[in-house]
Amino acid sequence: QEGQVRVKVLATPIHPSNLLQISGNYGVDPTLPSTPGSEGVGRVVETSAGVTNLAVEQLVLLAGGGTWREEIVAPAASFIPLPDLGTPSAELIEQLAMTTVNPLAALLMLNNFVELEKGDWLVQSAANSAVGGYVIQLAKKRGIKTINVVRREGLAKELKSLGADVVLIDGPDLASQIASAANNAPVSLALDAVGGETFTRLTNSLAYGGTIVAYGMLSGQPA
């Protein structure tokens, strides 16, 4: 229809949130029938009358949901145009497909709940996730110190290369580990993607009046 474009989907990621919604555990039910998918990248293959901001063969980011499909027909304004990248590699295509959800989630959680200052501490679970990696890098740029909780050994070197200050293994004594790592300095913000006991341990590590942001439940258990 007028004002719409047709886009061939090149790549679209599978997020835990997508799987939670499919299984009915996301917290917000989709309106059926529903196509999963929350982001991706594609190439314009057809435009209609009235479309001036997109051209055939142009790369675009997909947003607004329903991205798990081969082609999308939607208003041109619902796509985010990308600059001319020539012939991008498969690796670049995959990276572009993951640029609208996780980086923005990390940025919003850092900015919208607690006014963190240089030298402040925050703690996060699932630190080896995509969101966790962005949190580490964005916090490092602002001089915010991060305590990064993971559930298995062997991840510290990679996370510290991104700028992590401390990497801890989750366990019953997590709150005391966090206090020791921060030299008993107050921790005013916790970010949790795991839920269950991990959520409780992070909460117990917070200073009085601290804030915990729950954005996932990778353990399958609610906060």
The tokens for 113 are 């709940």
Pairing of strands 121-124, 187-192: parallel
State yes or no: is 215 an active-site residue. Answer: no
User: Which residue in 29, 83, 88 sits closest to 58, CA to CA?
Assistant: 83
Q: Is 126 left (phi over 0), alpha (psi -120 to 50) or beta?
A: left
Task: Give the whole-angstrom CA distance, residue 170 versus residue 180.
Answer: 14
Which secondary structure element, helix H or strand E, spans residue 120, and what is its range?
none
Task: Give the whole-angstrom CA distance, residue 103 versus residue 106.
Answer: 5
For residue 22, how far is the Cα from the chain centroid?
Answer: 18
Which of 26, 134, 208, 215 is the catalytic position? 26
For residue 163, how far is the Cα from the chain centroid?
Answer: 18
Task: Give the whole-angstrom CA distance, residue 207 versus residue 122.
Answer: 11
Mention every residue, 6+ apart, whose C-beta is less than 8 A from residue 85.
Answer: 59, 92
Place of tokens 């996370």: 159
The catalytic site residues sit at 26
